[in-house]
Amino acid sequence: MATRIGTSMNVGQRAMMNSQAALHTVSHNIANKNTEGYSRQKTETFSNFPNGVGKMRTGTGARAASIQRVNNPYLEKQLAGEKSQLGFLSGQSTALLRLEQVYNEQQSDGLNSSIGKFFNSFRELSTNPENMAKRIAVKESADLLTRDFNRVHEQLQDIRKEANGQVLIQVNETNKVAEEIASLNMQIQKVEISGGFANDERDRRDALLKQLGELIDIKWAEGKDSTVTISTADNAILVVGNEARRLEAVPTPGRENKAEGDFDIQYYHHEHAEPMVLTERIRGGKLGGLLSVRDGDVGEFERKMDSIAFEIGNRVNDLHRQGHNAYNQAGGDFFAHVEEQRGASGSIKINPTVLGDVGRIVAGMDPNSPGDNRVANMIGELQYSKSLLDGATSVDEYYNGIVAEMGLRTQKVNNLLETQEGVVRQLENLRESYSGVNVDEEVASMIEWQKQFDASARVIRTADEMLETVINIRRY
Amino acid sequence: MRVADKMNYNQSLNAINKNRSEMMTYQNQAASQKRINKPSDDPLGAARILEKKTEMQGFEQYKRNILSAKEFIEYSEQSLSQASELLIRAKELAIDQADDAANGPDSRRIVAGEIRQIYEQMVNIANRRFGDRFLFGGYKSMTTPFDMTGTYFGDDSEMDVQIEKDAYITMNMPGSVVFMGKKLHQQLPPDKVLQDDKTTVEVRGPASQNPSQDPLAPTAQTIANSAEGEWGIKSANVFEVLRDLEIGLKANDKSVVQNSLESLDNSISQINMARGELGSRVSSLNTGLETLQKLHVDSKVIQSEIEDVDMYDLVNNLSKTQTQLEASLATSGKMLKTTLLDFLR
């Protein structure tokens, strides 16, 4: 069977269309070269099946079969997992850095210094218990000490509040992302059910999954219908099909190891279900990191500060009550009495009667003995007493231990964070290496397709000329 | 390896970021001159710095305590040295009047007047104040310790002042001991002997831990002369001795005057023993002060070793990082600029 000139024209025309499609893809790639999570796309062309029989089967050109993204799902999933860990660590790190500042005495004096000053003021008093100025110095140093305890307490509260604010933001963010993923699920399903490739939708969904993983620990799997199902905190389904279930941040009424007003994260299986508290089960992502610092570290350090304040307050009071003050009255409390250890660092203050009249400070044991300095000496001794708190460390050692512990935790998290950043960076490089856009490549490909476009046009023109020749054959 | 454009950008950005953050750390160190600017820079180091700071705070306080104790003790010692001189004068007078060779009732009466004056001066010395505190009243430091009859209104208490982490020194000497010869520390051995290895100082725990001492116990009124006193010598009630001498002289009783010679000797030894003890306290305070100063310097050195930055290292690191940063910037600039497009015309 003979070939026809028209066929060549057709082939040329289709080739031009292919070139245009491919150029379009190139332009799409170049346009998205900075888009986060974008995978470069490729136009696949196939050669058409030939016409004719036997040894003369003439080709019928090429057709653009599909536009597909270049993407390695395994790499994406790995990257998402590592990013989740990164989110967790960065959540912890942000909160810990704030916490660390509370205990930073490298630049200015803090609690360590005021504890020392407090006990030293009693030593000073012991050299001259008759002297009013020394008593005033005791009052001042005790005032400084209580203020410093209160300051630490308040700062810890602030960090807690700040963490709560962050939790609220992250929960809202989580809901937003989950909703977008649910709607993408639907779009992808629509495109792919008819055999298409939802390249850009999938890129966007992959990016969102990573983002979600950074916020909260998630597990997900893609079903045969192209939708992903996401669960968080062990088994709470966050997204299924085109439905996203909301998380809610709700102030807790206060329960064991939880301060009142802290945000709990609640989840509803369905609209009318009883809310389920997920707080303890969220162990990943920024949210997990924040919660672990808020409920773990901040709470722990609060309790430790409370126990120091409570112990100092009570032990000083015990001694103070044994003696007599400058008016020969039996000594009262030095610090205002605190019933409960919890919150003691926030409530510790000087007994108002002592604050109003330093003559009520007790230095000696016996009445009518203005030179008696035994109680002052005993209170001074408390600084080194190992019978306080856990029974093995002095107040100073205990507090310095807190600072060291704080530093160690921050250091550890920062080191892990740095390592994790390296891991993520490396994986991102791998991903980019595979899926990222290279302009040189695109330009080369552009030239390639342009040349094809030119050549195809030439084919059409040649065919046209040939046709003209055929039409004008009679004139010759 | 296929290199996507994003990789280039990320790499350049990361390199520059890393260099810049290193620069910042070093600049921070240069500004503060400290290696540790927050606990996480070196957690254990930070805790040790706090430990050293507390230690040094303590040293400062102990220094102040030592200085005020020293002032008090030195003033006590000075007063007792005057007391000792007075007694020596009394003894000279007593020796003069002890025989009948040149002495009659008249001269003894005149001398008795002089002894009376010595007695009064002695009471004044015993009532000396340091600031507004009486030196020899024990804890009753705001009450005049002796009246003109030599009755003691103070107590036997000793004011202990902390001069080191585990050491106290007694600041005062109760009038009952010095002037009346009361024995205080019978069954109480020094419970701590410590200081640096060169000197050994007797130290007693805080007074509160001393169960044998009851400041409310009856005052030293009843102590008899010539029983054994604080320092293992025969004790003497200085006021009684002087009064006896005065009475003896007034009565022109030679034997009383002669007898008083021995008790005057006892009085002088008693006062001098007290002076000796005060003197040794001062010298142990001086040693303590020196030790403290040494310890203070040691702590300071350790603190500096832990927290201060090594300038040589720092400058070295800074210039290294600077070079790195410049290299990163230069290569980034070159790398990011070039594309195939530049070569297509």
> How close A173 comes to chain B (CA, Å)?
26
Residues recorded for chain A: 476
pLDDT tens-digit readout, B72-122: 999 999 999 999 999 999 999 999 888 877 678 888 889 999 999 999 999
pLDDT tens-digit readout, A391-418: 788 888 899 999 999 999 999 999 999 9
Task: Name the least confident of A26-35, A271-280, B213-222, B263-272.
Answer: B213-222
Token readout for A85 is 């860990």
Output the pLDDT for position B281: 93
Those residues whose C-beta lies under 8 Å from the C-beta of residue B261, and which sit 6 or more positions away, are: B91, B94, B95, B98
- Distance between CA atoms of residues B137 and B174, nearest Å: 6
A432 to B6: CB separation less than 8 angstroms, yes or no? yes
Q: Which residues pair with B146 in a beta bridge?
A: B152
> How close B85 comes to chain A (CA, Å)?
28
Give the pLDDT means over successive 10-residue stretches in chain A (476 positions): 74 91 94 90 89 82 88 90 92 90 86 93 92 92 94 92 90 94 94 90 93 91 90 86 88 71 82 81 89 89 91 91 89 88 90 90 89 91 80 86 92 94 92 91 92 93 90 78
Q: What is the mean pLDDT of chain A?
A: 89
Those residues whose C-beta lies under 8 Å from the C-beta of residue A422, and which sit 6 or more positions away, are: none
Q: Examine the pLDDT at B228 and tell me if it is beyond 80.
A: no
CA-nearest of B275, B280, B75, B277 to B195 is: B280
> How close B220 comes to chain A (CA, Å)?
17
Residue B266 · residue B232 · CB < 8 Å: no
DSSP three-state, residue A70: coil
When CB atoms are compared, the residue of B60, B68, B206 closest to A127 is: B68
Give me the sheet containing A236-240, strands edge to edge.
A218-222, A228-232, A236-240, A243-244
* Side chain identity, residue B93: L
pLDDT tens-digit readout, B137-178: 999 989 899 999 989 999 888 999 999 888 899 999 999 989
- Distance between CA atoms of residues A272 and A56, nearest Å: 72
When CB atoms are compared, the residue of B6, B37, B53 closest to A113 is: B53
| pLDDT category of residue B223 using cuts at 50, 70 and 90 | very low
Residue A64 · residue A21 · CB < 8 Å: yes
Read out DSSP for B229-279? Answer: -TTSSB---HHHHHHHHHHHHHTT-HHHHHHHHHHHHHHHHHHHHHHHHHH
> How close B268 comes to chain A (CA, Å)?
28
List B residues 247-306 in contact with A (Cβ-Cβ < 8 A): none
pLDDT tens-digit readout, A258-304: 677 788 888 887 777 788 888 888 888 999 999 999 888 898 999 89
Output the pLDDT for position A316: 92
Residue B146 · residue B126 · CB < 8 Å: yes
When CB atoms are compared, the residue of B32, B171, B208 closest to A374 is: B208
**B168–A contact, CB cutoff 8 A:** yes
Q: Examine the pLDDT at B189 and tell me if it is beyond 50.
A: no
> What's the sign of the alpha-carbon dihedral A180, A185, A186, A192?
positive
Instruction: Give the residue on A whose Cα is nearest the Cα of B170.
Output: A127
How many other C-beta atoms are found inside a 10 Å radius of the C-beta of residue A215? 28
Count of pairs with CB atoms under 8 A, one residue in A, one in B: 205
Output the pLDDT for position B48: 92
Q: Examine the pLDDT at B199 and tell me if it is beyond 80.
A: no
If you search the block for the tokens 């008790």, which residue do you land on?
Answer: B263
Are β-strands A247-251 and A263-267 bridged in parallel, bridged antiparallel, or unpaired?
A: antiparallel
Read out DSSP for A363-429? Answer: EESSTT-TT--HHHHHHHHHTT-TTSTTSSS-HHHHHHHHHHHHHHHHHHHHHHHHHHHHHHHHHHH
Instruction: Give the residue on B whose Cα is nearest the Cα of A322.
Output: B208
Chain A residues inside the 8 Å CB shell of B160: 126, 373-374, 377
Q: Mean pLDDT over residues B238-244, rounded?
A: 92
Those residues whose C-beta lies under 8 Å from the C-beta of residue A416, and which sit 6 or more positions away, are: A89
When CB atoms are compared, the residue of B40, B53, B139 closest to A411 is: B40
- pTM for the whole structure: 0.83
CA angle B186, B229, B234 (to 5 degrees): 140
A330 CB burial (10 A radius; 0-12, 13-18, 19+): exposed
Read out DSSP for A253-276? Answer: ---TT--TTPEEEEE-SSTTSPPE
